[in-house]
Amino acid sequence: MTVKEKFEYWCSFDEETKKELQSITDEKETEDRFYKDLEFGTGGLRGIMGAGPNRMNRYTIAKATKGYADYLKSKFQDEISVAIAYDSRNNSQYFSQVAAGVLAANGIKVYIYDTLMPTPVLSFTVRHLGCNGGIVLTASHNPKEYNGYKIYDEKGCQLVPRFASQVIEFVNAVTDLKSVEIMDFNVGVESGKITIIGEEILEEFLKEVKKQSIYEEKSDLKIVYTALHGTGNIPVRKALDGMNVSIVKSQELPDGNFSTVRSPNPEEKDALTIAIEQAKEENADLVLGTDPDCDRVGTAVLHNGEYVLITGNQMGALLVDFVLSNKKDKLNEKSTLVKTIVTSELGADIARKYGLHIVDTLTGFKYIGEQIGKYEENGDKEFVIGYEESYGYLVGTHARDKDAVVSSMLICQMAAFHKNNGRTLIDALNKIYAEYGFYLDALDTFVLKGKDGAEKIQSIMTNMRENGKSHFDNIQNVLDYSKGIDGLPKENVLKYTFTDGSWIAVRPSGTEPKLKVYYSMCGDTREIAAEKLNIIRAILKKEIEG
């Protein structure tokens, strides 16, 4: 169908949808809503909320869920069940009930939380209840306009491409969105087809989190924590029970508009602004902030009178050092660290010192979760820790997704350990640099919206493939992951490695209209690494922005 035909088709759905679509006066806005359907990326289905096939709404949710239901019925013969959770975003609970209604109408048993719940808890719940799959409604750290839909397998792991592609085939087979049957949520509950999950499973999750505890000595460490209006408030506070924790009250309660922040992304400095101001007033040692679905955590540390932000790569290295140094007697020849191809090598270098296997995956924590399942099946390796540069970490196998609950607990224990030994986390990081060399990591994000933006991203990637090597000196290797190298699935990522161990990587975002450029510069000092970064950054910015 053409854009015009799709528009007219959607106007026939219901009066509310029709009214919204007919109120659009910008031709580009109409094109953006209809030129394509939402696609599964590194984080599943994610997009701006609104009417149209390229938006998150009850029809696109119903279509995706009908496809998922058909996929599950093709894979499993006995009774099928799915667990569902949602975060604090606008419409998350409503979308979760739409998904539940579609599954119930298709004869699939549903277990659903009646209150917002972190993504890692959903991952745990799938395995705890023995479900065949899971769904969580969240757009993670995206701005308020977004929502998302993540699908999980029977192991509590997000679907990797070879399975997601099968789901997509079933989803694409749903051509008449108005015909998707949705059971009334209350009818489903009354009939027993939909079961409400209580907080007892959260308590079981927290028991597993506490099993990863490393350091419980008394400390006068002062912590300021913000849930950024999301799902972390109760679970994180329970995981930090017994510590001196001060809560940012203005960001404590759920708020789908995230009214106190520009974006609830703990990777960004301004998301922690209010927490840092509170920390200054209270002379706190550590600031923690978790994103809306509580799978990422950002931190700031009081060091020499200033609050210093710690990047995802830096925190990953600190956690690797802390976990392995305290678990060295429990490590064996199977112990393994798993990270992504765009994550710094610093944590891997630390892990190698302890004799760990290092496994690289594509971007997206689902690939790390997939490895955990493989190790349990094959018995050739044992998962110890996994992380990615985008502030996601996992210690333990209770979840198969990044977990800001266990990460928050371990970060605070690590900070307490170092404080009791007269150090801040920055001191600990500098000690690591002194031993392994300095790593300076950075990320540039170029927002390119709509159909024109998508075409420009593709053009940039093509140009980088054909001419990228000529832009830089001292290139040792060019890795084009679209060819399926290193035993990994094909993915649109280019990575350039330099003779000194530095590297850059370029990839389109799997969930947003963005092109991402990752930098990891090595040097004997910060100044040397920074000079390399500035030169390469300027070259790439000129190539991308023109």
Residue type, 395: V
| Closest C-alpha among 132, 122, 150 to residue 398 | 122
- CA–CA separation, 164 vs 152, rounded Å? 10
Comparing CA positions, the residue from 61, 69, 134 lying closest to residue 98 is: 61
- Coil, strand, or helix at residue 275? helix
The pairing of beta strand 503-508 with beta strand 494-498? antiparallel
Q: Is 81 an active-site residue?
A: no
Residue among 34, 65, 33 at smallest CA distance from 151 = 65
Residue ranges in 160-284 assigned as alpha helix (H):
161-172, 185-191, 200-210, 233-239, 273-282
Which has the closest alpha carbon to 295: 136, 145, 160, 446? 136
Q: Return the closest-CA partner of residue 83 out of 30, 41, 135.
A: 135
Spatial separation of the C-alpha atoms in residues 160 and 401, rounded to whole Å: 12
Q: In what order do the strands lie in the sheet with 286-290?
A: 244-247, 222-226, 286-290, 297-303, 306-310
Catalytic residue among 140, 335, 509, 520: 140
With CA atoms as reference, report the closest residue to 400 among 129, 52, 152, 197: 152
Q: How far apart are the C-alpha atoms of 195 and 201, rounded to whole Å?
A: 13
Helix, strand, coil percentages, rounded to 5, for the chain: 45, 20, 35
- E strands of 1-86, at which residues? 40-41, 44-48, 81-86
Task: Report yes or no: 177 and 59 within 8 Å, Cβ to Cβ.
Answer: yes
Burial class for 65, CB neighbours closer than 10 Å (0-12, 13-18, 19+): buried
Assigned token pair, 112: 């659903």
Please identify every residue annotated as catalytic.
140
